[in-house]
Amino acid sequence: MAIFPIRTYPDPVLRLAAAPVGAGNAELRRLVDDMIETMYAAPGVGLAAPQIGVSLRVIVFDAGEGPHHVLNPVLEATSGEYLYEEGCLSVPNRYWPIERPAYARVRGTDLKGREVVYEGEELMGRVLQHEVDHLEGVLLLQRLSRRERKEALRELRLEAMERGAG
């Protein structure tokens, strides 16, 4: 297993729609293991493959009950409303209150090709929605209000310039 550097905004891989994966194989198993290790090292509660530069439809998460993975996850149901201080390893050290549905259900397959379904509210619901967003090239910045997004992008640009100058 290996810990990978996490790609951060504005890395273009984070804006791509990721490609579906086929049946589980050794390479895919290694990807899932590496993603779980990278998630825990960060530390984070979820990670999508594009965040380590692999544009494939694979997510991992641990919303408090151990590590899980889903291949080709589809967000098939949401309901309710929940305001949560949301962050993303690809936009490090920043949190915004973002409203999304409270409940989410995701269906996909595991490495053995079995159908898996994960569902939950609050943190679980949030992680599922957030990670599936990554597979569509959507970052939490796109879930902010217009005004918040403008401000966030301005700050991120300034930071990038300072890094470049430093």
Between β-strands 68-79 and 82-88, what pairing exists: parallel, antiparallel or unpaired? Answer: unpaired
Q: CB of 134: closest distance to Ni ion in angstroms?
A: 6
Cβ nearer to Ni ion, comparing 24 with 35? 35
Spatial CB neighbours of 113, under 8 Å, sequence gap ≥ 6: 23, 24
Cβ nearer to Ni ion, comparing 24 with 39? 39
Spatial CB neighbours of 144, under 8 Å, sequence gap ≥ 6: 96, 98, 152
Backbone angles phi, psi at 69, to 5 degrees: -135, 150
Q: CB of 26: closest distance to Ni ion in angstroms?
A: 27
**Residue ranges in contact with Ni ion by CB under 5 A:** 88
Residue with the closest Cβ to Ni ion? 88
Q: CB of 123: closest distance to Ni ion in angstroms?
A: 14
Cβ nearer to Ni ion, comparing 3 with 23? 3
Which of 131, 136, 155, 162 is catalytic? The answer is 131
Give yes or no for a contact between 94 and 87, defined as CB atoms under 8 angstroms apart: yes
Q: CB of 89: closest distance to Ni ion in angstroms?
A: 6
Give yes or no for a contact between 129 and 81, defined as CB atoms under 8 angstroms apart: no
Other C-beta atoms within 10 Å of 70: how many? Answer: 23
159 tagged catalytic = no
Cβ nearer to Ni ion, comparing 60 with 88? 88
Catalytic positions? 131
